[in-house]
Amino acid sequence: MKERNLFQIVTIGIIAIWLVIFALIPNIMVFAVSFMERSEESFIKAAFTFENYRAFFSSMYFSIFAASFKMAFITTLICLVIGYPFAFILARSGSRFKSLLALFVIIPYWTSALIRTYAIKVILTTNGLINTFLIKAGVISEPLNMLYTQGAVVLGLVYTLLPFMILPLYAAIDKLDTRYIEASQDLGASRLQTLAYVIIPITVPGIVAGCLLVFLPSLGLFYIPDILGGAKNILIGNLIRDQFLNSRNWPFGAAASNILTIVMAFMLFAYYKSVRAINRRVL
Amino acid sequence: MENRKPVVELQNVKKSFDDKTILKNINLTIYNGEFLTLLGPSGCGKTTTLRIIAGFESADSGNVIINGERVNDIPPNKRGVHTVFQSYALFPHMTVYNNVAFGLKMHKVPKNEIKSRVTEVLRIVKLENFADRKPHQLSGGQQQRVALARALVNKPLVLLLDEPLSALDASLRKGMQKELKQLQRALGITFILVTHDQEEALSMSDRVVVMNEGVIEQTGTPKNVYEEPNSVFVAGFIGDINILNGEVLGLGDGGISARVEGRLCAIKTKKSLKIGDRFKLLLRPEDMRIEKLSENPETDGLMIGNVVLKTYKGATLDTLIRLQNGTQIKASEFFDEEYEDFDYNMDEKVSIGWVSGWEVVLPDEGA
Ligand SMILES: Nc1ncnc2c1ncn2[C@@H]1O[C@H](COP(=O)(O)OP(=O)(O)O)[C@@H](O)[C@H]1O
Ligand SMILES: [Mg+2]
């Protein structure tokens, strides 16, 4: 008994120290920096100010913030609309290989995300795969302008993040007890009614988890807008990176980063509430 | 029972899963307003039978008829039967009220009618104060009652109950058995209940259907299947039974004379037997009678054994006796205060008989 307690203390202690060093301290530093001033020589100057936050909400940066959310929202919606039927069919197929099939969803991740994004670029570009094919087939005479559009960014985000939608949905739908569906049918519900009143509500934790796993990264994935969106389609992730690496405005980058963190925290809270409401957990 | 209307009929129903025959050839008529129990050991096909009636499984062949209409191709949501699932399957995201109202909402019943009907049925199952709770905030017995209410509120033609009490602890189960029976009487709805518990089946049902390995072994009133089992299986499954070997010695008027484990006796039976035929004699422990032997007994023509176990059960004394050939016989006798000698010594040699008229004769199945 005593040894086990010691083992627990040591393991939990190590995890706690790890979290303090690599999560808590950096976050506190970012938080502190966001209230400081910029300095040419040493990046930051130890002076207290709200200026960074004020600047964020009053400038064009805020519109980037808003555009990012719109983009992330569209991406999440598309992933959900594609991912739910996909996960549903997979989980309910009754196939012996369904778990293996679900695993296949992440196979693209064996290739670097950067390379896959460049591949999309090759497909979309002016003399890329799609345009060449369509012109050869005689469907169009002029190449379509697909690259460096919002659509291209959304496509890249959806392609990259879809598995993060499918997997939690798959887990939630797979766990859904068939008896709930049978009970619903038994009580006179049609297939559509069963879907709307029983299946979707019970899998809400999976839906919220999937949406979070798509929405949050799509706010921060800066290389996709970089490669597919060009200079016009800057998102919040690009902004934060640029503040740290290009403009060297650490305090401002920290403030933007903090705002993003707070928004994400709210969403995690919403997930927690939805799980509590259903009284079951997916993640 | 004869003049009652059939509500559910199964005609030559067969069902296999993965080439394994589960239901061999089920023929069963269930009458309006009766409480029928499907009783049998685990895995004998009771749930499958119920699911075929509900529409969750389809019969490979044969007819399923509900209220005079062949329903083989009608989906579960369009059949006038409702199920109380083994583990209740209450919707976890809905309150008790919304669980119960679900069926009515699906059938687009007007709002105010839903309210009055749900309130009424919650009152019947004594849960009117729990309408706003979620299922996980209820005890097992309360969840059970919500499941009942959720089905009953739709006024089903037939209520199907799959081991509805198996998840409850013993004391709660006894109470719920009574409540279920009273509810069924009061509402007049046909109940088809599945159980593997013979006591439950006997105490609740109007009729019991005993199943074994996909076959209906016997159908009858609880008294009927208990007192006149038509097979060793039914006799053994419904309560304790002693199986004795006998041989026909002579034929008489409406019966036979026979030797049963050494005992010469006359047995009333309508079964047609010939002299020399071997048969099985089935006797309940409570029909056995033990007689003390005198000092120097004449044991010819008696069934003789030794007492190997005595168990006091309060109202009864249960005795286990081993015959000379090794067969063990259970006897269960009520205490009779006027008869003072009522007790046996361990290993005492006794003669065993039975109350004439309670024995059941079955032709030897091995022959
Ligand atoms: N969907 C199914 N697929 C394969 N076998 C099944 C299925 N449902 C039931 N069975 C088999 O059918 C047999 C009877 O099951 P069931 O009707 O549930 O028995 P009971 O309710 O009497 O215990 C069991 O051997 C079970 O394994
Ligand atoms: Mg069963």
Gap between the Cα atoms of B175 and B187, Å rounded: 18
The pLDDT of residue A279: 57
Gap between the Cα atoms of B13 and A239, Å rounded: 70
B48 and B110 in a single domain? The answer is yes
Gap between the Cα atoms of A182 and A179, Å rounded: 5
Question: What are the tens digits of pLDDT across the range B313-362?
Answer: 878 889 999 998 889 999 998 876 666 566 788 888 899 999 988 889 99
Using the 3D structure, point to which of B175, B203, B237 is the last residue of a domain: B237
The pLDDT of residue B340: 57
CATH of the domain at B211: 3.40.50.300
Ligand 1 pocket test, candidate residues B14, B47, B83, B212, most atoms within 8 A of CB: B47
- Residue B114 three-state SS: helix
Cβ–Cβ gap A182/B85 under 8 Å = yes
The pLDDT of residue B329: 94
The pLDDT of residue B162: 95
The ranges of chain B with pLDDT < 50 are 1-2, 367
Ligand 1 in reach of B50 Cβ (< 6 A):
no
B204 and B277 in a single domain? The answer is no
The pLDDT of residue B365: 64
ipTM of the complex: 0.83
B160 and B281 in a single domain? The answer is no
The pLDDT of residue A40: 77
- Alpha carbon nearest to ligand 1 atom 21, residue: B47
Residue B6: which of B38, B36, B32 has the closest Cα? B32
Question: How far does B254 lie from chain A, in Å, by closest CA?
Answer: 53
**Closest residue on chain B to A202 (Cα):** B93
B282 and B334 in a single domain? The answer is yes
A180, A185, A280: residue with CB nearest B91: A180
- List beta partners, residue B38: B194, B209
The ranges of chain A with pLDDT < 50 are 281-283
Torsion of CA B248, B250, B253, B254, to 10 degrees: 0
Q: Is B66 a member of any domain? A: yes
B269 and B230 in a single domain? The answer is no
Structure tokens given for A235: 């998102």
- Alpha carbon nearest to ligand 1 atom 12, residue: B22
Question: How far does B109 lie from chain A, in Å, by closest CA?
Answer: 12
Using the 3D structure, point to which of B185, B207, B237 is the last residue of a domain: B237
The pLDDT of residue B3: 57
B330 and B355 in a single domain? The answer is yes
| Domains assigned to chain A | 59-282 (1.10.3720.10)
Q: Are strands B207-212 and B190-195 parallel, antiparallel or unpaired?
A: unpaired
Q: Is B166 a member of any domain? A: yes
**Closest residue on chain B to A188 (Cα):** B77
- Chains A and B form CB pairs within 8 A to the count of 65
Using the 3D structure, point to which of B237, B269, B299 is the last residue of a domain: B237
The pLDDT of residue A283: 38
B194 and B249 in a single domain? The answer is no
Residue B314's CB is within 10 A of a number of other CB atoms, namely: 6
CATH of the domain at B299: 2.40.50.140
Q: Are strands B215-220 and B207-212 parallel, antiparallel or unpaired?
A: antiparallel
E runs forming strands in B213-252:
215-220, 242-252
B231 and B260 in a single domain? The answer is no
Q: Is the four-CA dihedral A251, A252, A257, A260 of positive or negative sign?
A: positive
CA of B87 to the centre of ligand 1 (A): 16
B10 and B115 in a single domain? The answer is yes
Q: Which range marks the domain in which residue B145 is found? A: 6-237
The pLDDT of residue A191: 93
Q: Is B1 a member of any domain? A: no
Give the number of the atom of ligand 1 that is nearest the alpha carbon of residue B194: 21
**Closest residue on chain A to B101 (Cα):** A187
Total domain count, chain B = 2
A142 touching B (Cβ < 8 Å): no
B14 and B92 in a single domain? The answer is yes
Question: Which residues, 6 or more positions from B156, have their beta carbon under 8 angstroms from its beta carbon?
Answer: B80, B81, B82, B189
Whether the Cβ atoms of residue B317 and residue B342 lie closer than 8 Å to each other: yes
What B153-156 contacts at long range (C-beta under 8 Å, 24+ apart), as own/partner pairs, is B153/B100, B153/B101, B153/B103, B153/B104, B153/B117, B153/B118, B153/B121, B154/A187, B154/A188, B154/B82, B154/B103, B154/B104, B154/B107, B155/B189, B156/B80, B156/B81, B156/B82, B156/B189
B232 and B246 in a single domain? The answer is no
Our CA angle for A53, A54, A58, nearest 5°, is: 120
Ligand 1 in reach of B43 Cβ (< 6 A):
yes
Q: What is the value of pTM for the model shown? A: 0.82
B334 and B274 in a single domain? The answer is yes
Cβ–Cβ gap B134/A279 under 8 Å = yes
B77, B89, B92: residue with CB nearest A278: B92
Q: Is B334 a member of any domain? A: yes
